[in-house]
Amino acid sequence: MNPATLRIHQSAMRIFAENGGLTIAVSDLAREAGLARGTIYNNLADPSELLASVCDTVSNEYRASMLAACAAMTDPAEKIAAVIRLTVRRVHDEPHWGKFLARYAMMEPKLGSFWAEMPAQELRRGIASGRFAVHRDQVASITATAGGGTFGAMTLVLDGHRTWRQAGGDAAEIILRGVGIATDEAREIVQRELEPLQRMTAFSAT
């Protein structure tokens, strides 16, 4: 994406996050982005497809940044906990990102598709190695529960009811204990320091 297109997507995500809806008036988008209407039209092939485009960008960036953040981890329990905690932390660091996910994750499956990928793979790996005391046929249910718990923790942070450390740590600990990790070990894992996800290049604050 060129700089104008990135700016348009950033502004669109903010508008969608705050107002909801499926489309944005070009005049509103131009005002939010600080660009001329002509620039908007020149950099969007189809303004009616803007929501889908923003969803694609958010989903792809989330997947890539999370895989990079967890690349050096070898313990499936640590990876799953990190995914939950880093997601909740990013909501604190980038509230518009969190609000966007909270509004559209149930509507746009691509925004939640990551949970059926790396976390599910780590669950299967932990089951095969004996790290987790659950059945392989429970993986889909566990990842759905982990995803739902993470989105619930995100909402607590967005609403100011819990800090990202509290909400993310609690959600991760509950999932780890649910797959058979002892309470003391689960608590130790979720208290490990993590570097935050890099801010989204396309949507970082201006």
Contact 83, 70 (CB under 8 A): yes
Q: What is the mean pLDDT of residues 152-178?
A: 97
- 183-190 and 164-178 helices cross at what angle (nearest 10)? 140
pLDDT, tens digit, 9 for 90 and up, residues 90-114: 999 999 999 999 899 888 888 889 9
Tokens of 12: 């669109």
With CA atoms as reference, report the closest residue to 103 among 65, 57, 48, 155: 155
Q: What is the pTM of this model?
A: 0.90
Q: What is the DSSP string of 109-163?
A: GGGGGGGGTHHHHHHHHHHHHTSS-S-GGGHHHHHHHHHHHHHHHHHHHHTTSS-
The percentage of the chain sitting over the pLDDT mark of 90, rounded to a whole number, equals: 78
pLDDT at res. 148:
93
Q: What is the rounded average pLDDT for all residues in the chain?
A: 92
Q: Does residue 23 have a pLDDT over 70?
A: yes
Residue ranges matching CATH 1.10.10.60 in the chain: 3-45
Which DSSP symbol is given to 48? G
What's the CATH number of domain 55-190, 3.90.380.10, 3.40.50.720, 1.10.357.10, 3.90.870.10? 1.10.357.10
Among 106-110, 113-117, 119-123, the least confident range: 106-110
CA 32 to chain centre: 24
Reference 199, options 86, 105, 73; nearest CA is 86
3-45: CATH number: 1.10.10.60
pLDDT tens column, 126-143: 999 999 999 999 999 999
Residue spans in the chain of domains classed CATH 1.10.357.10? 55-190
